[in-house]
Amino acid sequence: MTDRVWQEPDNGLDHAVARFGGKRSEWLDLSTGINPVPYPAPQLPADTWTALPDQAAIARLVGYARRFWSVPESAVILPTAGTAPIIAALPHLRPAADVSIAPPTYSEHAAAFRTAGWTVSATGPDAIVAMHPNMPDGRAWAADQLEAPFTIIDETYCDVAPQASLIHLAARADTIVIKSFGEFWGLGGLRLGFAIGDPAIIADLDARIGPWTVSGPALAIGAEALADPDWADETRVRLDRDAERLDAIMAQQGAPVVGGTALFRLYEVADAQAAQDHFASHKIWSRTFPDAPNWLRLGLPAPDKWAVFDAVF
C-alpha cells in the first residue's frame, strides 16, 4: 500500500462563497461533521469572562468528563483548547520513527507526525493513530488492532455511539484517547478538547502544551454539557433519525450511502465534483475528496433547513 493519507483540501464555506457568490448567511454548510443543533449554552456569571480560570473550574469539568465517558480511574484527563494542540504535540512525545496511519482518514495527524520527522505509512511499527470511528468512511476499530509502542485513538466522532468507545484502553500504558467537544455538542467555536490516558504521557503532553489553555467560558459550558446526559441521549436519537432521512433522500437520487456516522454521511455518486457544483448552485456546500472522485460527504441539515435541502432535487 502506498504512503497516502486522506487529504481534505481547503474548500470550506469561505471557498464556496468566493467561488459561487452570495453571503455566508445565505449558505447551508453541510461540509462539516458538526451537530447542527448545538447544546444550549447557559447564561454564565460575569466573572466567567473576567477572571482567570481556576483549578476548581478545571476540576469540575474533568469530573463530569470522567463520569460522562466512563474514564478508567487510572487514566488522567487533560482539557485543552480544542484537539489541535493535542494533535500537534503528540508526535513530539516519542523519538521520531515509523507511525501507522491507514488511509483514508483525517489528514492532520499525518501532517503533524511528518512535521516532527516521523515516517508515515499504513503499517508503521512504532506508533499507531486511529480515528474511531474513522472519517470520512465511519469504519470502527477493534481493541486488538490497536497494539503499538505508542497508541493514539481519536474518538472525535464517537459520542454518537458511546457503546463503541474504546475509552477503556486509556488505562493502558503508552495510550492516549482524544475526545472533542465541538462536533457532537455542536459548539466547534468553543474550542474544547481532551487528551485521556497514561499519566506519564499526559504529564508530558501537559508540559508541552502549557498552562491556561482552556478559557473560563469553555470550562463552564463544557461542564454543564457533560453533566447533561439526557440531552446527549435525545440528541443521539435525533441524529440517527436525521441520518436515515438523509440516506433515504440520497438513495432516491441514485447515491447510496457507503459510510459515515450519525454526524456525517458518505455517498457514492457518479461525479462528486458535479454533485458539489449542483448543490452549490442552491447555496448548499458539501465535501469532496481529490483521491475519490465518486465520494461526496454531507453533514446533517438543521431541523428548519430540510426544505432548503429538498429543493435541490
Same domain, 32 and 173: no
Of the three residues 169, 200, 227, the one that is the final residue of a domain is: 227
Same domain, 276 and 141: no
Cα–Cα dist 100/121, whole Å: 5
Q: Do residue 201 and residue 239 come from a single domain? A: no
Q: Which residues pair with 260 in a beta bridge?
A: 265
User: Are 109 and 203 members of one domain?
Assistant: yes
Q: Of 210, 167, 209, which is closest to residue 75 (Cα–Cα)?
A: 167
Instruction: Kindly report, residue by residue over 170-180, the tens digit of the pLDDT.
Output: 999 999 999 99
Quick one: 67 and 165 in the same domain?
yes
pLDDT above 90 as % of the chain: 94
Q: Give 41-53 pLDDT, tens digit per residue.
A: 999 999 999 999 9
Residue 2: band (very low, low, confident or very high) from pLDDT cuts 50, 70, 90: very low
> What are the pLDDT digits (tens) for 100-148?
999 999 999 999 999 999 999 999 999 999 999 999 999 999 999 999 9
Domain boundary (227, 250, 280) is at: 227
> In DSSP terms, which residues pair with 33 in a beta bridge?
none
- Give residue 10's pLDDT: 53
For residues 170 and 237, state if they share a domain.
no
**Each residue of 230-282: pLDDT tens digit?**
999 999 999 999 999 999 999 999 999 999 999 999 999 999 999 999 999 99
Domain that holds residue 285: 13-37+230-310
Q: How many domains does the chain have?
A: 2
CA distance 50 to 15: 35
Where is the domain boundary, 191, 209, 227?
227
